Amino acid sequence: MSPNRKLIDIGANLTDKVFRGIYRGRQHHKDDFHIMLARAFSAGLEKIIITGGSLTDAQESVALSRTDSRLFTTAGCHPTRCTEFQSDPIRYLFGLKELIAHNPDKIVAVGECGLDYDREEFCPANVQREYFEVQLRLASEVNLPLFIHCRSAHQDLIELIQKARAIFFRERPLRGVVHTFDGTAEDAERLLKLGFYLGVNGCSLKTEDNLKVIESIPIDRILLETDAPWCEIRPSHAGHKHVRTCWPIRKSERWDPNCLVKGRNEPVNLIQVLEIVAAVKNIEVDELAAKTYQNTLELFSFPPN
């Protein structure tokens, strides 16, 4: 591993209780949050962006980010949780605005927002669309990029973005990343034409068709993420054959500080995402690392080190 390699995980759910040793409401092992972080930073990660999926989540992730200068966060409402807006939309939106206004050194994007038509049982599509538009407007008002979630909804997502660009973004560019991108080559092309970056993690690398799409994306528009503790790269995934770096793994009941927990993705696994994308793009790992690091700095505004 190159000692000069620098990486940024643009999306990790670090407020998840599994990083405190709690699985399905039961303590399986000691809180190993700081061990997990140290493992990532010692492997070359320079920064991690925590994803905030609701107002409450974002408040928690801001507090968590203040425990380490290398942690940052997003602030927004995940599409499956947009019913939280409905009881008092004005108050909920004001809460997001206030949180962003008081934490400009830690909140680097509006999100996780977007559309998820795979899980309408949590929030109907029409409600998702309504409050995605609200958050598009919020991004224009606070001048932050968007951190977007999209599942089986690329057509509607693109139409709403195009509408928002014409209404809310006349005086400044609409910027952002569609994270965990698993769409088609046509979806990618349309999002790239709108100026978006595409976030790649294990869920973007499951099938040979996924890999072909990743191969078609210019490296200057790719960002890397883990979506930890989700989206781990499994042996059954098409991209797994390109993985070169692995760590010992144990079940949560047999926790070992020197091992990863089986089924729990971690930011350190960003290296595996990097290795797969580099192989698919047929470029050197360190070249891709340098380029995606630069891409990340171009999209997100981090305070000086």
Which residue numbers belong to the known binding site? 112, 149, 179, 227
Q: Which long-range contacts (CB under 8 A, 24 or more apart) does 90-99 make?
A: 92/55, 93/134, 93/138, 95/55, 96/55, 96/58, 96/138, 97/138, 97/141, 97/142, 99/55, 99/58, 99/59, 99/62, 99/75
- Which residues line the annotated binding site for a divalent metal cation? 112, 149, 179, 227
- Nearest Cα to 6, choosing from 304, 300, 302, 288? 288
Burial (Cβ within 10 Å: 0-12, 13-18, ≥19) of residue 250: middle
Tokens describing residue 180: 């965990």
Q: How far apart are CA 17 and CA 143, in angstroms?
A: 31
Q: How far apart are CA 251 and CA 261, in angstroms?
A: 6
